[in-house]
């Protein structure tokens, strides 16, 4: 491959060959979290690759050993809103969602390596990929309800297309972690590969890239055949008991108070119930209740509609008390003692102008 081509801040690096372009997120001091400038640079690279007839595949990785991408730079977003620069915050979400949708609709196959921390907007980048490689270091989550936000980047839509029953609700509402090769078990990654073998797998990808079909669906089949020959399916764990528990408590859950009541009266895996009950109780009541409403209305919708809804919700929630309070408590002061308002799930009765968008067909 040729040498790295970088953006002005060196936060996005691109290495090109005729068939495979390797894009690296290069902001390791911030766990490769996405700035607005990085989103714009990624969109430009995607557009250039789309129009280059020689490109057969894109590979996206993160710099350093700690993270693929910890998500959008949500602290920066909150500070923009706090300082009265709302337009920049809205531009970030608008352009991030446009980038994510473009990846879902891209004409050529995408391969993403989700080593280390892969959260929020990092999962937004991997969700549109054909091949998502997890390693034993992978640490995935959609943790937004912890900071008074919601699982955006299309998650309330695509989680249903990827995950086992109950897990879309479980992961989105609780923000709980998915570690290592469990990402493959749950459908958030397609293959698992040990870190010490990753270099060999990527070399095999580079060698195969010139032979990939120009048709994305055909190339995807070719890539799955390649990965089947260079990864080990026996490394993927199984956890039937956890799957049954999640399905029992979260699949089709109708309301957050009902969910909390069921968890408090747990009849199976009581310690697990107690832990999830405690963590849910610590989340923003507004964010969790809003997330459940979104899960109900977004399921099965075209991604274009899902992302449009995400943008509406983002514009509303960045002005809500809980968003700043969550960012303050978790990312700025780091006292981990957010003071949510309202503080009880039963008190969350309305989402103002969002209400008319959140009515499901059943209602």
Per the annotation, the verdict on 144 as an active-site residue is yes
Q: Which one is catalytic: 62, 116, 120, 121?
A: 121
Of 105, 121, 102, 117, the closest CA to residue 31 belongs to 117
Tokens 């990527």: give the residue: 202
CB atoms within 10 A of CB 270: 11
CATH 3.30.70.260 fits 1-363, yes or no: no
Domain spans of the chain, in order of start: 1-363
**pTM of the shown model:** 0.94
pLDDT of residue 350: 84
CA dihedral 110, 74, 172, 343 (to 10 degrees): 180
Q: Which one is catalytic: 152, 169, 322, 325?
A: 152
Query: What DSSP string describes 232-264?
Result: -GGGS---HHHHHHHHHHHTT---HHHHHHHHH
- Decide if 96 contacts 121 (C-beta within 8 A): yes
Spell out the per-residue pLDDT of the chain, length 363, in tens. Answer: 455 566 667 899 999 988 999 999 999 999 999 999 999 999 999 999 999 999 999 999 999 999 999 999 999 999 999 999 999 999 999 999 999 999 999 999 999 999 999 999 999 999 999 999 999 999 999 999 999 999 999 999 999 999 999 999 999 999 999 999 999 999 999 999 999 999 999 999 999 999 999 999 999 999 999 999 999 877 789 999 999 999 999 999 999 999 999 999 987 788 999 999 999 999 999 999 999 999 999 999 999 999 999 999 999 999 999 999 999 999 999 999 999 999 999 999 889 888 888 875 444
Of 103, 128, 8, 117, the closest CA to residue 63 belongs to 117
Q: Determine the 3-state secondary structure of 266 from DSSP.
A: coil
**Cβ density class 149-160: b for 16+ within 10 Å, e for less:** bbbbbbbbbbbb
Per the annotation, the verdict on 72 as an active-site residue is yes
**Chain-centre distance of CA 119, in angstroms?**
5
DSSP assigned state of 207: H
Per the annotation, the verdict on 187 as an active-site residue is no
The pair phi, psi for residue 113, each rounded to 5°, is -105, 115
Order of strands across the sheet that contains 131-134: 5-6, 12-16, 20-25, 57-62, 110-113, 131-134, 191-192
Q: Which one is catalytic: 144, 169, 176, 325?
A: 144
d(CA 68, CA 100): 16
Q: How far apart are the first and last CA of the chain?
A: 56
From the number of C-beta atoms within 10 Å of its C-beta (0-12, 13-18, 19+), residue 276 rates as buried
Q: Which one is catalytic: 62, 72, 122, 154?
A: 72
The pair phi, psi for residue 230, each rounded to 5°, is -120, 0
Per the annotation, the verdict on 152 as an active-site residue is yes
């Amino acid at each position: 491959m040729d040498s790295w081509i970088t953006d002005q801040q060196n936060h996005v690096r691109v290495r090109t060959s005729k068939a495979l372009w390797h894009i690296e997120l290069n902001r390791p001091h911030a766990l490769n979290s996405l700035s607005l400038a990085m989103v714009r640079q990624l969109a430009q690279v995607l557009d250039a690759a789309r129009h280059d007839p020689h490109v057969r595949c894109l590979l996206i990785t993160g710099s350093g050993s700690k993270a693929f991408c910890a998500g959008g730079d949500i602290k920066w977003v909150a500070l923009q809103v706090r300082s009265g620069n709302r337009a920049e915050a809205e531009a970030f979400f608008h352009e991030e969602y446009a980038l994510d949708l473009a990846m879902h609709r891209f004409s050529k196959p995408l391969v993403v390596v989700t080593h280390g921390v892969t959260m929020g907007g990092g999962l937004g980048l991997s969700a549109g990929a054909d091949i998502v490689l997890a390693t034993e270091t992978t640490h995935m989550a959609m943790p937004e309800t912890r900071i008074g936000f919601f699982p955006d980047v299309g998650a309330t839509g695509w989680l249903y297309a990827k995950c086992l029953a109950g897990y879309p609700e479980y992961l989105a509402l609780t923000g709980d972690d998915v570690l290592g090769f469990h990402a493959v078990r749950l459908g958030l990654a397609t293959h698992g590969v040990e870190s010490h073998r990753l270099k060999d797998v990527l070399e095999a990808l580079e060698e195969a890239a010139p032979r990939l079909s120009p048709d994305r669906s055909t190339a995807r089949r070719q890539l799955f055949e390649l990965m089947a020959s260079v990864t080990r399916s026996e490394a993927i764990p199984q956890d039937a008991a956890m799957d049954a528990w999640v399905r029992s408590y979260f699949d089709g859950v109708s309301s957050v108070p009902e969910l909390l009541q069921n968890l408090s009266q747990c009849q199976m895996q009581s310690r697990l119930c107690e832990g999830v009950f405690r963590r849910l109780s610590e989340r923003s009541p507004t964010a969790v209740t809003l997330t459940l409403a979104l899960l109900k209305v977004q399921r099965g919708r075209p991604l274009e509609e899902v992302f449009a809804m995400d943008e509406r919700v983002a514009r509303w929630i960045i002005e809500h008390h809980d968003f700043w309070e969550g960012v303050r408590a978790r990312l700025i002061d780091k006292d981990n003692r957010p003071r949510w308002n309202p503080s009880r799930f039963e008190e969350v009765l309305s989402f103002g102008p969002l209400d008319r968008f959140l009515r499901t067909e059943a209602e």
